[in-house]
Amino acid sequence: MKPVAVFRHSANEGPGHIALFLTQHAIPWRMFHIDQGEAVPENADDFSGLVFMGGVMSVNDDLPWISHTLKLIRDAIAKDIPVLGHCLGGQLMSKALGGVVTKNPVKELGWGAVNVADNEAASQWFGDVKQFDSFHWHGETFSLPPGAVHLLSSPFCANQAFAIGKHLGMQCHVEMTEHMIEDWCRAGAQEIEDNRHSPAVQDAATMQVQMYDKLPQLNRVAERLYQHWMHGIAPRAS
């Protein structure tokens, strides 16, 4: 089968748990290091799926690769090729499909509860899970693009995830690993300090202490989402 394309936009925001999931399920995948200047491919049909990770930038920034990424997302969805977005990736999906990305009322940094919507699509993606603690690291939020179904919300961010058929866009970070959390706490120390006034910001020590209890459940939620997303991948000749 053709590989899944995974797009990294910042050096420390790699694929995390989804890399493990794809490898364990013998799904070939290829990383595109956008942060290192690697070009965005033009044809979504070269891949069996597209996965977009997070990033420190805004989708509203004047960066040359953003317009190419939006075009690729639209191409994939037009061709029924599954798209999956994490945080910045979800924002890219929203903007590509007619939504808007704006400043969130507060920054969310660290662990926080998200609630699963009461609709059929949410049940298909999340099963019996009604609430879970996800990891967050964002200051912006997306609107639901036309045709999207709302899946997740948090007390501090109304739109935490949406689905359009087999395509899933998320604001929260379900892909986290222990190493990623520790790395983000180091790299984001100043951002945490600058936003300590936010009711949705934890200190680094709390983030790392809580991950031992919360990360196993988050991994299970991520695997359910990835499993459902994987079912949308049609066999494509390589």
Q: In what order do the strands lie in the sheet with 167-170?
A: 29-33, 4-8, 49-52, 83-86, 167-170, 157-164, 149-154, 101-116, 131-142
26 located within any domain: yes
pLDDT, residue 237, reads 43
Let me know if residue 180 belongs to a domain.
Answer: yes
Backbone angles phi, psi at 152, to 5 degrees: -140, 150
pTM recorded for the entire structure? 0.97
Q: Percentage of the chain surpassing pLDDT 70?
A: 98
Q: Which domain, by its residues, includes 64? A: 4-230
The pLDDT of residue 238 is: 46
- Report pLDDT for 233: 87
Number of compact structural domains in the chain? 1
Sign of CA dihedral 12, 180, 162, 2: positive
236 assigned to some structural domain: no
Separation of alpha carbons 125 and 204, rounded Å: 30
Domain presence at residue 237: no
- What are the tens digits of pLDDT across the range 200-211? 999 999 999 999
Task: Find the CATH number of the domain harbouring 39.
Answer: 3.40.50.880
**Tell me, what's the pLDDT at 234?**
65
Is 204 within the bounds of a domain? yes
The predicted structure's pLDDT at residue 57: 98
| Residue ranges of the chain whose pLDDT lies below 70 | 234-238
Tell me the per-residue pLDDT of 212-223, one tens digit each, with 9 for 90 and over: 999 999 999 999
As a whole number of Å, the end-to-end CA separation of the chain is 5
Do the domain assignments include residue 42?
A: yes
Q: Which residue has the tokens 């191409």?
A: 75
In the numeric block, which tokens belong to residue 128?
Answer: 């019996």
- Rounded-to-integer distance, Cα 133 and Cα 11, Å: 25
